[in-house]
Structure 1
Amino acid sequence: MNKKLTKVALELEEVQVLPEREALGSFNFASIAASNTAVALNAASHFSVANAVALQGINVHQH
Structure 2
Amino acid sequence: MNEKLTAVELDLEEIQVLPEREALGGFNYANIYASNTAVALNAASYWSVAKAAAIQTIVVKQH
Compute the TM-score of the two structures, normalised by the length of structure 2.
0.65
Q: Name 1:35's counterpart in structure 2.
A: 35
- Between structure 1 and structure 2, the one with the greater Rg is 2
Among all aligned residue pairs of Structure 1 and Structure 2, give the percentage whose two residues are the same amino acid: 71
Q: Output the CA distance in 1 between the equivalents of 2:60 and 2:53.
A: 24
- Structure 1 residue identity aligned to 2:38: A
- Residue-pair matches, total: 57
Q: Secondary structure at the match of 2:20?
A: coil
Q: Name 2:45's counterpart in structure 1.
A: 45
- Structure 1 residue identity aligned to 2:62: Q
Alignment of 1:2-17 (within 5 A): 17=17
Compute the TM-score of the two structures, normalised by the length of structure 1.
0.65
Unmatched segments (≥5 aa) in structure 1:
1-11
RMSD over aligned Cα, in angstroms?
A: 2.9
Flag as ranges the 4+ runs of structure 1 deviating above 3 A: 15-18
- Structure 2 residue identity aligned to 1:48: S
Q: Secondary structure at the match of 1:34?
A: strand
Q: Name 2:21's counterpart in structure 1.
A: 21
Q: Output the CA distance in 2 between the equivalents of 1:48 and 1:61.
A: 43
